[in-house]
Amino acid sequence: MREGGLIVGQVLHILSRAVTPGVSTAELDRIAEAEIRHRGAKPAFLNYRGYPATLCSSVNSEVVHGIPRKDKVLREGDIISLDLGCVLRGYYADAAITVPVGNISERSRDLVEVARASLARAVEQMWPGKRIGDISNAVQKFVEDRGYSVVREFVGHGIGRALHEAPAVPNYGKAGSGMRLSVGMVLAVEPMVTMRKPEVRVLADGWTAVTVDGSWAAHFEHTIAITEGGPQILTAYSGEDPGPASGQRSS
Ligand code: MF3
Ligand code: CO
């Protein structure tokens, strides 16, 4: 899973550099698929329950599961969530980042930064003996203390031989509740943070989840292993600290 996670992290990093005004989300999807296959892995989302692409690309008020399109062209000031999964020798990895398109507003920057930091707070909780509710509560408290909302309809998940495994990992909940974390568990934790209200609805394409009130959203996800030495981020990308137990600390 570490090998697959490394691929997802590398490809997300490549995609983040391809995000620029004028690029279409279909082009980002093309790059994502080529780079995953080039590394000997397979796209995890393509044909999953009929999903038609490698990448989920969700722009502005789209929260998750945006389907890449030729006619969806990025503009300066947009924010885009890039969500990518791969399967390598039967094991899955899943991660997402939200990146700015050119210069973005200060409000958008703050939203993205809070979403990113909420995932970091979640990871800090992921020691053996802690509980799912400790992760959930850490995200919710961090986000709501800053005036933003967490989405309820979509949650993080266990991951391994399947993309989605038990347990569910909500981004809201009570500290000290839920399943206890133990060494060897691997979870995909994915806070979805909105500027105003948390409600989302799914568009007629059957996939794209957008905020009901039109407010913009940011989404970050990592695949994280629980080890004796603490959390280990398997999908860390270039320049990001994979955590205390990783032994692959990046420069
Ligand atoms: N990270 C997302 C999730 O865990 C991506 C799934 S897209 C799908 O739900 F197409 F595979 F469903
Ligand atoms: Co996921």
Spatial separation of the C-alpha atoms in residues 236 and 154, rounded to whole Å: 22
**Ligand 1 centroid – CA 65 distance (Å):** 7
Spatial separation of the C-alpha atoms in residues 5 and 54, rounded to whole Å: 15
- Ligand 1 interacting residues, C-beta cut-off 6 A: 45, 48-49, 51, 56, 65, 83, 94, 96, 188, 190, 221
Overall CATH class of domain 2-234: alpha beta
pLDDT tens per residue, the chain (251 residues)? 999 999 999 999 999 999 999 999 999 999 999 999 999 999 999 999 999 999 999 999 999 999 999 999 999 999 999 999 999 999 999 999 999 999 999 999 999 999 999 999 999 999 999 999 999 999 999 999 999 999 999 999 999 999 999 999 999 999 999 999 999 999 999 999 999 999 999 999 999 999 999 999 999 999 999 999 999 999 998 667 777 766 444 33
Kind plus residue range of the DSSP H or E element containing 13: helix 2-18
Spatial separation of the C-alpha atoms in residues 125 and 134, rounded to whole Å: 6
**Ligand 2 centroid – CA 50 distance (Å):** 16
Which residues are registered as beta bridge partners of 201?
A: 210
Residue boundaries of the structural domains of the chain: 2-234
Evaluate if pTM is beyond 0.75. Answer: yes
